[in-house]
Structure 1
Amino acid sequence: MSDWITVPGETASVALALVNSLHAGPNGDIDHLASPEAAASWLRSRGLLQSDTVLREVSSLAQLRAAVRELFLAFLEERDADPAAVDTVNEAAAATPGASSVAWPPTGPVRTWSTIRPGTLAEALAAIAGDAIDVLCTERAATIRVCEAHGCVRVFFREHARRRWCSTTCGDRVRAARHYRSSHS
């Protein structure tokens, strides 16, 4: 994942990170879930899959990614979400029974989620769907933005009122393009 640039909010929201696991690259789309091995690595890097769990398919994860993206965009565009996307998120959230719990590392209390199927893909999907629901139904929803850079499809949490791009890379591209246009017109 060396070409991966984390955007604001991805460390706080696994649902946002999932949406951005498919993004535009210089040579076309980059899909960090393109194979079962890549998807397992992505999930493990976020603590959502046990190291010995082998994924056989990634379609359910890719479907959840598309559904969460649809819900985020529907919220941003102030329109009704596709009912199939709502169903996908709700079904993933309900796929494995669980409960909130608290962990207490040295940094203080952290909300965790425990299920009857720990370390499985079903638990990972439920955790991601639950996070998406939390994002959409809390004050974090008001900070969701789509990067304004041409060709970028990433979504981020706007942590500063003037932020318009998901990363400095996108901001630099926009500024360079604007400079080029002004100096060549």
Structure 2
Amino acid sequence: MELASTIRHDGDGGVADDLETVRGTTRWIQQQTGLPGAGELVADEELRERVVDVRRAVRALFARVVSPAAPSPADAHRLMPADEALERLNAAAAQELVAPQLEWPAEEAPTARLSSAEDDPRVRLVAALARDAVDFLSGPEREQLRACHAPRCVRYFIKSHGRQEWCKPSCGNRARVARHYERTRGATTGGSPPPHCEP
């Protein structure tokens, strides 16, 4: 979800891409504390493109999950085919061979971790992003994935309760304002556009 959410509403009616530049990609990677080596990794253009490629595959597969509902409007017009997205995601996940390792310190509960023979932190990062996507898409939360269709929103979200329609309250506010404007537009002449709601 974090990777898919690097495409978001920019607050001014457009779409922002946190991975559009090498600098932005580095900033995003370093904020991902759960990824291997992310805290100190500095991106270059090749790594940025590899991360974006995984994101494109993830968002295409998210669109498949929410179907027949409409996908996010951010990339609905340029989604890669689902079979290509599957191939790319699986190829990225397969770049790193990992083995589960059991750790069991005295007087503590056992835990599992993945051990890698891969030395390149860039390969480990891309593979970890792909594995996380595989885990999500094959897990139970997939059934609750939705695309937010509030005006100007481009996010996917996990539906947390039965009546949830939007990713966050501000999107619900924008949707209600837009519906009210549409209902009253025909009743008045020279109507003005709906007021701007901050995300």
Query: What does 1:113-128 correspond to in 2, within 5 Å?
Result: 113-117=114-118, 120-128=121-129
Evaluate the alpha carbon distance shift between residue 135 and residue 50 of structure 1 in structure 2; reply closer, same or farther with a 3 A threshold. Answer: closer
- In the TM superposition, residue 181 of structure 1 has moved relative to its aligned partner by 3.3
Structure 2: distance between partners of 1:50 and 1:41: 10
| Aligned-pair CA distance for 1:21 | 0.3
Give, in whole Å, the separation in 2 of the partners of 1:161 and 1:100.
Answer: 36
**Is it true that 1:19 corresponds to 2:4 in the alignment?**
yes
Counterpart position of 2:90? 90
What is the distance in 2 between the residues matched to 1:148 and 1:109?
43
Give the letter aligned to residue 93 of structure 1.
A
> Structure 1 CA distance, aligned partners of 2:159 and 2:18?
23
**What residue is the counterpart of 2:171 in the other structure?**
170
Indicate yes or no: 2:66 matched with 1:76.
Answer: yes
Displacement after TM superposition at 1:116 (Å): 2.7
Structure 2 unaligned residues grouped into runs of 5+: 69-80, 188-199
Question: Does residue 45 in structure 1 map to residue 46 in structure 2?
Answer: no
Q: Which structure has the larger Rg over C-alpha atoms?
A: 2
Q: Aligned residue pairs: how many?
A: 166
What RMSD, in angstroms, separates the aligned Cα atoms of the two structures? 2.6
Cα drift, residue 50 of structure 1 = 3.9
Post-superposition offset of 1:85: 0.8
Which structure would you say has the larger RCO, counting Cα contacts within 8 Å and 6 or more residues apart? 1
Look up the SS of the partner of 1:20 in the other structure.
Answer: helix
In the alignment, which residue of structure 1 is the partner of 2:147? 146
In structure 1, give the amino acid aligned to 2:61. L
User: TM-score by structure 1 length?
Assistant: 0.77
TM-score (norm 2): 0.72
Aligned 8 A contact 2:41 2:121 in 1: yes
Change (3 A) 1:154 1:110: farther
Q: Is the 1:50–1:119 contact (alpha carbons within 8 Å) kept by the matching residues of 2? A: no
Q: Which residue of structure 2 lines up, in the alignment, with residue 33 of structure 1?
A: 19
Is residue 53–residue 119 contact of structure 1 (8 Å, CA) maintained in 2? no
Same amino acid, percent of matched pairs = 30
